[in-house]
Amino acid sequence: MPRQDRDLLINRELGWLEFNHRVMEEAALEDNPLLERLKFLAIVSSNLDEFFMVRVAVVQQQVSAGVTEKGEGIAPPELLEKLRERCHEMIDEQYRLYREELEPRLRAEGIRLRGPDELSDQQRAAVNRHFAGEVFPVLSPLAIDPGHPVPRIRNLGLNLLVTLQQPWMAAGPPLMAVVEVPGVLKRLVPLPGETGGRDYILLEDVIRPRVGMLFPGFRVQSCAAFRVTRNSDLNFDEEEADDLLAAIEKELRERERGNPVRMEVQAGCDPFGLEFLRRELGLSPADIYTLDGPLNLTDFFPLTGLDGFAHLRDRPFVPPVVPALRESSKDIFETIRRGDILLHHPYDSFSSVVEFVDCAADDPDVLAIKQTLYRTSGDSPIIRALSRAAENGKQVSVLVELKARFDEGNNITWARLLEESGAHVVYGLIGLKTHCKVICVVRRERDGIRRYCHLGTGNYNPATARLYTDIGMFTCRPDLGEDVTHLFNILTGYSEYGEWQKLSVAPRHLKAKLIELIDREAARSTPQRPGRIVAKVNAVIEPKVIEALYRASQAGVSIDLISRGICGLVPGVPGVSETIRVRSIVGRFLEHSRIYYFHNGGDEEVYLASADLMDRNLNRRIETMFPVEDEALKQRLIGEIVRLNLADNVKAWELHSDTTWTRVQRRDGEPPVNCQEQLIQLALSQAPLGEAKLGAGARFLMQRMAHEGGRKRGAG
């Protein structure tokens, strides 16, 4: 993108912070159940941890290296200042929300976090027993003096900074020590409490009043919690690594030694000790975040799942099995032969994907299973099925992506388990992450060898499949099967990319294909029949794709971008992006699916992909995009999923030309449409999209769709 057009790109890091602020707005929304609000507040903390460990760390490195060149319109020193300022604002708002709204309401509902001075005699006795029997033996006080340098502070570990005075010395600076709050113990310590309620005390609040027991003969002046965040981005040369698995294991150990990028401290921390620690860690005063409340709200996730408080959570939803599989015979392969099957998670059960691999593992006619694994769950049924398939003598090839950020350790464990069972495990291509989601089952049948495939937008993780919206497709189309075989030959062996029949694969072809489709829409667009593009993704920041979207807008193409997270494109700029609208949906489920729609002069095309419109996805990863050609499935994507996303006026936000985000406002008389809730209704109805099955919001949408007429039209 030319330098003069850099103002038409929103900075990625600043854009991400605004996404996290939209998550926090869900915690502030009184319409959400109380424990769901607490969950969103915990997600904000978890998101910020990763943001500091990776994105802020990179900007700090650029500043330290003296980089001054502007990227996306802003130089690293200015960007770092803006990030710090926005993070301080956001964290202050987060803790105000916790102190003034959520914590008092939780207490009123019987979920009480007790301070050391609030305990009853019974509770204090229980805490004393817990400290003496479970906590004290684990603690290790670490003195700080010329003979004891500042200890290595563990990344994201919770610690206590203790200042001490020798009783026989009336003057002089205090002595200092660090006590690590043991991560091996539960931070939320249950207390005996009132009937019908739940009382807890934080582990650090168990230790603080008793910390003097670790320093007999000394007087404790102050004791406050703190937490250090370190640069945790892996940094190694794959080409120089003889053993990729060993190299990543080494880097995981180094992650604990990364440079500090942030320190969170409890309000009331001793100023002398805090300043000493800041200097020793090499942090700027702006990198210190003083929190008036418990550090690391991520640890409050267990409270959101407490038994007995159903009225404080979203109503439970058990995804049904998609009708095509539920109503068919027990032979999943026979069902797939009848036609492609679309699964929209979490509205359709992920158990069908697990069953697909399970059946393949035990079916005597299955010869081989090939699969990519980027992230999966802790006790993965898919890993168990693949292991069983290898033990049953089938050819099992699994690409385990060891470089999946913050899941590297888990993936090393799975890789070793699969290897022990006899599966062939590979770790991908040098310099590229393998992010595509593909399964290929090779089966011998009466009429020859047939390939059954599952291609998807999300990970093979049963746990996140209940929380993330993703789309997968079962198919046995020969052209897709041949492409998938070719893809695995590239991933596991040596093979040129060559030509693809249906797949588009990054980094060689996918970006070019997307730009070609965008440019084709622009070329076919006329004032009488304007083109139409809809993209539902997690992020839009790839400059060349943004340029193409700007060109299409200037050609009159109507464009809707549903970008859950970051969007670097500026919509509504006169003469540049007047026909582009950008929205983001933040709700009960994390929007994760990637859908690309092109009107194509009435011959509509819909693609599903593992890739977002990001530089890393399109230029540095193995990603796939594939067409949905079954007409019924295509219309489900357009007429149900895409339309409901565009009609949402409850959980949707819109991006304006001044780069600010605001909630979508309902027009007078327009009923509320919460697309995720409507999709739950549709899933539970197990019937085609029909007016009688829906709530008021969806009925309004159906009336509007009917008003458009019976002829085929563009999505939205």
Note whether 204 and 179 are within 8 A (CB).
no
Q: Secondary structure of 259-289 in the HEC alphabet?
A: CEEEEEEECCCCHHHHHHHHHHHCCCHHHEE
Alpha carbons 438 and 56: distance in angstroms, whole number: 33
Query: And the tokens for 127?
Result: 């805490």
29-58 burial, b at 16+ Cβ within 10 Å, e below that, comes to eeebbbbbbbbbbbbbbbbbbebbbbbbbe
Distance in angstroms (rounded) separating the CA atoms of residues 454 and 420: 25
Dist CA 458 CA 460 (whole Å): 7
Place of tokens 């203790």: 162
Q: What gap in Å lies between CA 500 and CA 631, rounded to an integer?
A: 22
Q: How far apart are CA 442 and CA 426, in angstroms?
A: 19
Q: Is the dihedral of CA 318, 319, 321, 323 positive or negative?
A: positive
Tell which residue, 495, 496, 494, 512, has the closest CA to residue 504: 512
- Under a CB-based contact definition with an 8 Å cutoff, are residues 32 and 104 in contact? no
Contact of 363 with 336, CB cutoff 8 Å: no
- Cα gap 116→112, rounded to integer Å: 13
Q: Which letter does DSSP use for residue 525 in this model? A: -
Q: Which two tokens stand for residue 307?
A: 């038994």
Which tokens hold the place of 217? 């003969």
Give the pair of three-digit tokens for residue 93: 């708002």
Which of 344, 435, 454, 592 does the annotation list as catalytic?
435
Strand partners, 201: 189
Question: Does the annotation count 656 as an active-site position?
Answer: no
Radius of gyration of the chain from its Cα atoms, rounded to whole angstroms: 28
Distance separating alpha carbons of residues 543 and 565, to the nearest angstrom: 16
Active site residues: 435
